[in-house]
Amino acid sequence: VQLQASGGGLVQAGGSLRLSCAASGRTFTNWVMGWFRQSPEKEREFVASITWNLGTTYYADPVKGRFTISRDTAKKMVYLQMESLEPADTAVYYCAAGPTVTLLRNSPNSWGQGTQLTVSS
């Protein structure tokens, strides 16, 4: 599985941004796609996931109510819409894929390159 993330940038606190992840290389019908992030002060952490077939979503507590993960199965794209951004959201964001939610969260099969989000106060 190849993943290509894009859409990062510099945003003011309170602003919005959408990250995109293009997926290729296999059939994703039963897979789970997700987003992780890593800042210099923290280890890489789970942000959100979505099952490819049913679109079932999971979110980390810090982003619940502010971030929305979605997918476009026809385009093989995964998105992360981020609202009410905070300086604490500043990190490199990575998209990832795995065969189950548990495996995705603990040991994804595939990673995309990161895209930097910086939220200024």
CA dist., res. 120 & res. 74, Å (int): 35
Calculate what percentage of the chain has a pLDDT beyond 70: 100
> Are 26 and 15 within 8 A, CB to CB?
no
* CA-wise closest residue to 49 among 83, 84, 17, 80: 80
Q: Is the dihedral of CA 8, 76, 97, 3 positive or negative?
A: negative
b/e map of 89-120 (b: 16 or more CB within 10 Å)?
bbbbbbbbbbeebeebbeebebebebbebebe
Q: Pull the structure tokens for residue 100.
A: 């189950």
* CA distance readout (Å), 6 to 54, 81, 121: 24, 12, 23
Categorize the per-residue pLDDT at 18 as very low, low, confident or very high, splitting at 50, 70 and 90: very high
45-81 pLDDT per residue, tens = 999 999 999 999 999 999 999 999 999 999 999 999 9
Q: What is the DSSP letter of 45?
A: E
pLDDT at 52: 94
Q: Assess whether pLDDT exceeds 80 at residue 96.
A: yes
Categorize the per-residue pLDDT at 27 as very low, low, confident or very high, splitting at 50, 70 and 90: confident
Mean pLDDT for the chain? Answer: 94
